[in-house]
Structure 1
C-alpha cells in the first residue's frame, strides 16, 4: 500500500500532464481549454490530498531500474514538509491560472502538471537514479513553460538561456553518480558521505554545482532574469516551490555529505550568503516588478543554502516553506497587474496596490513578509538561520543581506502604494477564481514563519526533521533584527523614489555578459576552430586518402587484368598441350609400333651425337 501511494503521488499529475501537453493548444478558454483547466485543477487537488496522506504515513518503495541504482522513493521528515508545500502551492497556482491563461491551455496545464510531478519525484527520490530522472524532466518542462509564448523571439531565447545555464550545473549530478560508483558505493543519497575521501569530495562538488545552478545562486543567477518572460503562473510556481526551491532542498538533504567533506559546507554557506547579499543589491536596483521579485528569489534561496551550510536545517526548511507562500503570492499579484495594466514598470504601477484591495492587501502582506517585518513569516525564519551562523564575517554578510531584503521589499511596497498620478482609469480587479489563491497565500505568508519560532513550531519542526542541537534565535536577537527590518522597510517605503539604481546592479551584475565572455564565446571559438581544422585538415586528409585509395584500386585493377591474361594464357597453353598429347592416343597397334620405332631411332641418334 505504501508503495502504491508513492507511485500514485508522482504518476497522478504526470500521466494527465503528458496527455494534455501532447494534445496541443487552443485559441481561447472554451472547449478543450476549459476541460484542460478543470482536469488540471482536479488532478492538483487530488495530488495535494495524496501528499498529505504520504506526509502522515511516511511510505517508501523501491523498484529495479539500473544495477546498483534502483528507483527508490521515500517520505521522511524533510520531504514530508516539502511535498505538502509543493502540492499546495501548485494547486493554488493552477487555480489562479484558470483565470489568467487564455490561449494554449491544454499545453500549458499539461506542462505544469508534468513540472509538478518532476518536483514531487525530486523531493521523494532517495537515490541518484531517481533524482537524475526528476532533475532532467524538471529542466525540460521548465524550458517549455518559460518559452510558452513561442511565437515571439524573446521567450524561446529566454528558455534556452535558462535550460543551458542550469544544464551546466546539472553535469555535477552525473559527476556525483560516477564518483559514487567509482568509490565502491551505491547510488543511494544517504550512502554518499561514506565514500572514500577523494570520491566523496567529487560527489560533494557535483551536488553543490547542480544545486547552485537550479537555485540560481552565484554565478548561475542570471537565468532567473530571463525566466521572467514566461507566464506569471509559471514564475509563481518555478520561483516558489518548484525548480529554484529544489536546489536549496537538495543541499538541505545533502547536509551530511557537505559536513563530511570538511570544506563543502563552508562553500555552501558562503555561496548562499554572498548570493543573498549580491542579488539583494540587484533587486534593490530594479525598476521592473518581476525583475525585482526574480532577484529576490535568488537572494532568499541564498538563506536556504546558507542554512544547509551551517546546519540550521529547521530554519532553512521553514524559510523554504514560508518563502514558497510569499513568492507565489507576489508573482501572482504581479501577474494580475501585468494582465490588467500591461506593464511591469514600478513607476507606471504607482497606486496599483490601492486599486483593488483583493490584490493590494495580499501584495502588501507578501512584501512585508519578504522584508522580514514581524510577526510575518520570513522574519522568524531568517532569525533562525542567522542564529546558526557562528563566524562573525559570515554573520555580517548574512545580516547585510537581511537588511537589503527589507530595502527592496520596501521599495516595491512604497512605489505601488503611492497615490497614482494622472492617467486612465485603472481596470477592475481579477476574476474570482484568481482571488481565492491570493487570499490563501496571504495567510500562509503571514503565518508560516511560526514553523521557525522556538515557542510555537520550531521545536516541533526539528522533531519532524529528526534534527537536534540547532541553535535557536534568542529573544534579544529576534527583537533587534525585527526593529532593524521595520526601520529599513519604513525608510525604503518613504524613499522609494530616491533609492539608488546603479546600472551594473540593474543588469544583474553583468553575470550573463561574464558567462558569455568566459564560457559561451570561448566554447563557440573552440568549436569554430575545430570546425575549421576539420574542414582544412581532416576533410582534406579524408579526401586525399579517398583519392589514393581510388588510384590504388585502379592500379590493382590493371594488375589484376594482367594476372587474368597470364592465367588465361597458361590455361590455353595447357589445353593445347593436352590436345597435342591426345593425338598419338589412337588405340591402333600399328601406329604405336611406328611411334616406338621413331622414338628408338631418335634415341640412337642422340646417343651417337652425344658420344
Structure 2
C-alpha cells in the first residue's frame, strides 16, 4: 500500500508544492519523480513474486475508486516513473533559463501523477478520470509556448483530435459496465459475444486518437510545437502510450473480429506513418511520425493475439524514443532549429550525444542486442503465427524496413557537414539522455523474465524470424543512409509530406467542423450578450425617463403647488392683522360687496 501511495502522491505533491511555493520548481519536480520511481520499484519487486496489491476508496454507490497493482500494471507504473525521472533530469538543463519554469515543472509533475493513476486504475471510472487529466495536461504542455506562432493551433488540434476519439472510450465503458454490472476492469474483461465486439471496436477508436493511428496520425507531428522534454514524455510513456496501454489491458476480452480490426489499423499505420517519417524534413516531426509507426507495430502484435509482445515493444520504444527526442533537443539547442537541413553536421560538434542518438537509432531499427531487437522479433513471430498472417506479416516487415530507413536518413543528416565547433556542456541534458540510451541497450535482457512474470507462453522461434528482422533493419538503414527520400518513395513523396490527407483529412472531418461550431457558438454568445446589453440599456433608459418624469414633472408640480399655497397663506395671513379698524373696514367692504351682488342679480335674469 505504501508503494501505491508513493507512486501517486509524490509527483502530485511535488506539483502542488511547485504551484504553491513557486520556488525551486525543477528540484521539486525531480524529487517527486525520484520518490515515485522508488515506489514503482518497490511495487514491481512485490509483483515479481506474483503479489497483487489493491486499494479501494468510496465513491459512487456500487462504484468505488479502485487501484490495483498486478504484474502488468506494476510494470507499466515502473515504465512511466523511470522515463519521467530521466526526462525531468534532462529538463533541469533544457528549461534552466525559461521564465515560465514554475508552470512547466508543475504541469509536468501533475501529468506524471495522472498517467500513474491511469496505469494503476482498477475500475473504469478512475481510468476515465485519469484519461481526462492526461488529455488536459498534454494540452497545456503542447501549448506551453502559446505566444509563439502556430503553437496554440497545434495544441488545439491535438486536443480536438484526441477528444473526438475519446467518445469511443466513453461508449465502450457504458457497454462494458452495462454488460458486467460493475465498473471493475478485471470483471468486465470476461465479457463475451456482441458486447465484447462492440466494446473492443470502440476502445480501438479511443486508442487510434491517443496513439495517433490512421486516420488520426496528423496531430502528433503538430504537437512538436511543445518543449522537447514534453515531446519525449508524451511519445514514450504517457499520452501517446495511453492508447496502446488501453488496448493491452483490454486484450483478454477482444474477440477475433476486434483483433483483426486492431491488427489492420496498426499495420496500415506503421506503413503510412513510416513513409511520412521518411519524407519529413524536420527531425522532431520525423521522430513524431516514427512514434505513430511504432505504435502501429504494437497494434499489429495485439491483432496477432500477442499482447505481451506489444508490451515489450512499448517498453523498448519508451526508452528509445525518449532518448532520441532528448538528443534532438540538444541539437536544437545548438542550432536553434530542428530542420534537417539546419542540423547538418550537428552530430560532429557533439560526438558523445550523437553516439547516444546513433545507438538509440540502431535500436529502433531492430539491431541486436538492443531492446527493440527482442520486441520486434516477438511481433514478427506473432504476426507470422497469426491466422491473419497474409495481412499482418507484410505490413509488419514493411514497417520494420521503414524504421531503419528513416533512422538511417536522420543519422546521415546529423553527421553530414563539417561543423566541429565546441559547444557548452549540458550535463543535466546529457545525463537524462544517457540513462535512457543505456536502458535502450540493456532492457532486452530482462524481457525473458518479464514474459515469465506475466505468464506469457514463449513460442519457440525458428531462425527465420530473427533473420528477417535483422535483414529488414540493416536493409532499411542502408537505404535511408544512401538514398534520398525522393528515390525511395517516388510519387508517394508529396502525399507523404502532406500526411496522406484525403479530402482535407481530419482537419476537414474534425477540426474545421469543431471550429465552425465554436465560431457559431461564439457569434450566438455575442448576439445574446448584445441582446442582454440592449435590454439592460433599455431598462436603464426607462428608469432614467421615470426618474426625470418623477423629478421634473410630478415633484416639480407638487413643489410648485405647495409653494403657491404657502404664498397664498402668507397673503391671507396679512389680512389677519388683529387691528380692529381694519377688521371693521373689511367687514363694511364685504357687506357692501354682498349687497351689490344681490342688487345686481335681478338685472341678469
Quick check: TM above 0.5?
yes
Inter-partner Cα distance in structure 2 for 1:146 and 1:512: 26
Alignment deviations for residues 88-113 of structure 1 (CA, whole Å, 9 cap, x no partner): 11001000000001221111111111
* C-alpha distance 5-447 of structure 1, shift in aligned 2 (>3 A): closer
1:483 Cα deviation after fit? 2.6
The residue that corresponds to 1:70 in the other structure is 64
Alignment deviations for residues 404-428 of structure 1 (CA, whole Å, 9 cap, x no partner): 111111110111122337xxx7450
Q: Is 1:60 aligned to residue 59 of structure 2?
A: no
Q: Is 1:325 aligned to residue 316 of structure 2?
A: no
The residue that corresponds to 1:243 in the other structure is 239
The residue that corresponds to 1:436 in the other structure is 431
Tell me which of 485, 490, 506 is aligned to 1:515.
Answer: 506
Inter-partner Cα distance in structure 2 for 1:535 and 1:428: 54
Q: Say whether the 8 Å CA contact 1:258–1:309 is kept in structure 2.
A: no
Q: How does 1:121-140 map to 2 (within 5 A)?
A: 121-140=117-136
The residue that corresponds to 1:98 in the other structure is 92
The residue that corresponds to 2:474 in the other structure is 486
1:375 Cα deviation after fit? 2.2
Q: Is 1:359 aligned to residue 353 of structure 2?
A: yes
Q: Is 1:16 aligned to residue 11 of structure 2?
A: no
CA RMSD of aligned residues (A): 2.6
1:19 Cα deviation after fit? 3.8
Alignment deviations for residues 263-301 of structure 1 (CA, whole Å, 9 cap, x no partner): 111111111111111100100000100010000000011
Inter-partner Cα distance in structure 1 for 2:375 and 2:350: 30
Inter-partner Cα distance in structure 2 for 1:240 and 1:336: 18
Greater shift, 191-200 or 84-93, is seen at 191-200
* C-alpha distance 527-332 of structure 1, shift in aligned 2 (>3 A): closer
The residue that corresponds to 2:266 in the other structure is 272
Q: Say whether the 8 Å CA contact 1:314–1:461 is kept in structure 2.
A: no
Q: How does 1:379-418 map to 2 (within 5 A)?
A: 379-389=373-383, 390=386, 391-418=389-416
Tell me which of 451, 465, 479 is aligned to 1:477.
Answer: 465
Alignment deviations for residues 433-465 of structure 1 (CA, whole Å, 9 cap, x no partner): 1111222211112222334xxxxx42x222211
1:138 Cα deviation after fit? 0.4
Inter-partner Cα distance in structure 2 for 1:238 and 1:503: 28
Q: Say whether the 8 Å CA contact 1:183–1:196 is kept in structure 2.
A: no
Inter-partner Cα distance in structure 2 for 1:138 and 1:488: 35
* C-alpha distance 93-522 of structure 1, shift in aligned 2 (>3 A): closer
1:524 Cα deviation after fit? 5.8
Inter-partner Cα distance in structure 2 for 1:190 and 1:415: 48
Alignment deviations for residues 471-520 of structure 1 (CA, whole Å, 9 cap, x no partner): 35322320232133213312321235765572221122227931132334
Q: Say whether the 8 Å CA contact 1:340–1:427 is kept in structure 2.
A: no
Q: Say whether the 8 Å CA contact 2:261–2:303 is kept in structure 1.
A: yes
1:363 Cα deviation after fit? 0.6
* C-alpha distance 328-522 of structure 1, shift in aligned 2 (>3 A): closer
Secondary structure, in 3 states, of the residue corresponding to 1:130? helix
Q: Is 1:84 aligned to residue 78 of structure 2?
A: yes
The number of residue pairs the alignment matches comes to: 516
Inter-partner Cα distance in structure 1 for 2:394 and 2:76: 29
Greater shift, 186-195 or 111-120, is seen at 186-195
* C-alpha distance 312-180 of structure 1, shift in aligned 2 (>3 A): closer
Q: Say whether the 8 Å CA contact 2:376–2:469 is kept in structure 1.
A: no
Secondary structure, in 3 states, of the residue corresponding to 1:60? strand
The residue that corresponds to 1:603 in the other structure is none
Q: Say whether the 8 Å CA contact 1:303–1:385 is kept in structure 2.
A: yes
Alignment deviations for residues 197-224 of structure 1 (CA, whole Å, 9 cap, x no partner): 4433332233222122111111211110
The residue that corresponds to 1:574 in the other structure is none
Secondary structure, in 3 states, of the residue corresponding to 2:504? helix
Inter-partner Cα distance in structure 2 for 1:158 and 1:506: 17
Gaps of 5+ in 1: 25-31, 452-456, 541-611
TM-score with structure 1 setting the length: 0.79
The residue that corresponds to 1:577 in the other structure is none
* C-alpha distance 535-343 of structure 1, shift in aligned 2 (>3 A): closer
Tell me which of 309, 312, 315 is aligned to 2:309.
Answer: 315
1:131 Cα deviation after fit? 0.5
Greater shift, 87-96 or 154-163, is seen at 154-163
Inter-partner Cα distance in structure 2 for 1:361 and 1:184: 52
Tell me which of 275, 279, 295 is aligned to 1:281.
Answer: 275
Q: Say whether the 8 Å CA contact 1:219–1:511 is kept in structure 2.
A: no
Greater shift, 62-71 or 119-128, is seen at 62-71
* C-alpha distance 139-185 of structure 1, shift in aligned 2 (>3 A): same
Q: Say whether the 8 Å CA contact 1:233–1:332 is kept in structure 2.
A: yes
1:86 Cα deviation after fit? 1.1
Inter-partner Cα distance in structure 2 for 1:505 and 1:68: 50
Inter-partner Cα distance in structure 1 for 2:210 and 2:502: 16
TM-score with structure 2 setting the length: 0.80
Inter-partner Cα distance in structure 2 for 1:198 and 1:530: 38
* C-alpha distance 75-346 of structure 1, shift in aligned 2 (>3 A): same
1:68 Cα deviation after fit? 3.0
Inter-partner Cα distance in structure 1 for 2:59 and 2:319: 35
The residue that corresponds to 1:143 in the other structure is 139
The residue that corresponds to 1:447 in the other structure is 442
Inter-partner Cα distance in structure 1 for 2:360 and 2:126: 34
Secondary structure, in 3 states, of the residue corresponding to 1:62? strand
Q: Say whether the 8 Å CA contact 1:179–1:199 is kept in structure 2.
A: yes
Gaps of 5+ in 2: 48-52, 532-605
Inter-partner Cα distance in structure 1 for 2:503 and 2:288: 15
Q: Say whether the 8 Å CA contact 2:228–2:329 is kept in structure 1.
A: yes
* C-alpha distance 488-182 of structure 1, shift in aligned 2 (>3 A): closer
* C-alpha distance 142-520 of structure 1, shift in aligned 2 (>3 A): closer
* C-alpha distance 333-184 of structure 1, shift in aligned 2 (>3 A): closer
Alignment deviations for residues 111-166 of structure 1 (CA, whole Å, 9 cap, x no partner): 11111111111111121011011101100100111111122242222111111111
Greater shift, 56-65 or 500-509, is seen at 500-509
Alignment deviations for residues 354-391 of structure 1 (CA, whole Å, 9 cap, x no partner): 21122111011011111112222212211111101121
* C-alpha distance 428-255 of structure 1, shift in aligned 2 (>3 A): same
